[in-house]
């Protein structure tokens, strides 16, 4: 795989031609990502090739919470309160770069940042709402588990992420 660098989205990045094959994810990076950053409702990280500014992939992180009833392996968690999580709100790779390991690199980067954030502000898991079955298969490949109430809402407990990162 070619070397990539992962950077917080800034005005320098070129994203007008980004195309991952999914319109909502294309629209998001082209039109809404900067606004969300400014309003502090999403942090967007982009992948670029070294020395380039063309976005070849991106993901977004935000804080969130989920109902106890949706959490798999919830033994020992309080039923009375929402469970804090990190939301991996979007992850997308440009069509020209799919199938070359960029998605895996971005996913691990997102998990690493989530783990770092969770040392300061607790998060029980990283969760993702899969856009479709193909996206769901990608996350299942990385040991995410289905939520109990919504099969498209997938969980990876922070405990598992921390031990995974310890092994790298
Ligand atoms: C899904 C997506 C992010 C994967 O990124 P990618 O760069 O193509 O994937 P990678 O090349 O990094 O693949 C890494 C691993 O995941 C596997 N994988 C990739 N896509 C997969 C899928 N849909 N189902 C199961 N496994 C998948 C690969 O086989 C590879 O496995 P290996 O390391 O064991 O060989 C990308 O195809 C994409 O942007 N799709 C369109 C947008 C989308 O659906 N995003 C998800 C939104 S919720």
Q: Is 117 helix (H, G, I), strand (E, B) or coil?
A: helix
Nearest protein Cα to ligand 1, atom 21 = 138
Residue 99 CA, ligand 1 centroid: distance in Å = 6
47-105 pLDDT, tens digit each: 999 999 999 999 999 999 999 999 998 889 999 999 999 999 999 999 999 999 999 99
Q: So what's the pLDDT on residue 150? A: 94
3-42 pLDDT, tens digit each: 899 999 999 999 999 999 999 999 999 999 999 999 999 9
Residue 84 CA, ligand 1 centroid: distance in Å = 26
Q: So what's the pLDDT on residue 79? A: 93
C-alpha span between 22 and 89 (Å, rounded): 14
Q: Is 101 in the pocket of ligand 1 (CB under 6 A)?
A: yes
**Is the pTM for the entire model greater than 0.75?**
yes
46 — pLDDT class (breaks 50, 70, 90): very high
Catalytic residues: 139
Residue 25 CA, ligand 1 centroid: distance in Å = 15
Please report which helix (H) or strand (E) contains residue 110, including its range.
helix 102-118
Provide the strand spans (E) within 53-120.
57-66, 83-93
Angle between helices 102-118 and 158-167 (to 10 degrees): 110
Nearest protein Cα to ligand 1, atom 27 = 138
Nearest protein Cα to ligand 1, atom 20 = 138
- Domain regions of the chain by residue span: 5-167
Judge whether 44 and 58 are in contact, CB under 8 Å. yes
Give, in words, the CATH class of 5-167.
alpha beta
């Amino acid at each position: 795989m070619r070397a990539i660098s992962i950077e917080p989205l800034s005005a320098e990045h070129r994203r007008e031609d980004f195309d991952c094959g999914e319109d909502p994810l294309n629209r998001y990076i082209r039109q809404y990502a900067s606004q969300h950053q400014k309003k502090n409702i999403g942090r967007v990280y982009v992948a670029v090739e070294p020395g380039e500014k063309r976005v070849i992939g991106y993901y977004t992180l935000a804080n969130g919470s989920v109902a106890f009833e949706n959490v798999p392996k919830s033994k020992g968690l309080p039923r009375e309160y929402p469970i804090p999580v990190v939301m991996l709100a979007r992850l997308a790779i440009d069509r020209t770069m799919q199938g070359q390991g960029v998605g895996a690199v971005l996913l691990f980067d997102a998990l690493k940042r989530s783990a770092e954030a969770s040392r300061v502000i607790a998060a029980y898991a990283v969760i993702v709402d899969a856009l479709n079955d193909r996206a769901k298969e990608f996350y299942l490949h990385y040991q995410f588990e289905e939520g109990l109430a919504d099969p498209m809402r997938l969980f990876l407990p922070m405990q598992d992420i921390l031990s995974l990162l310890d092994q790298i």
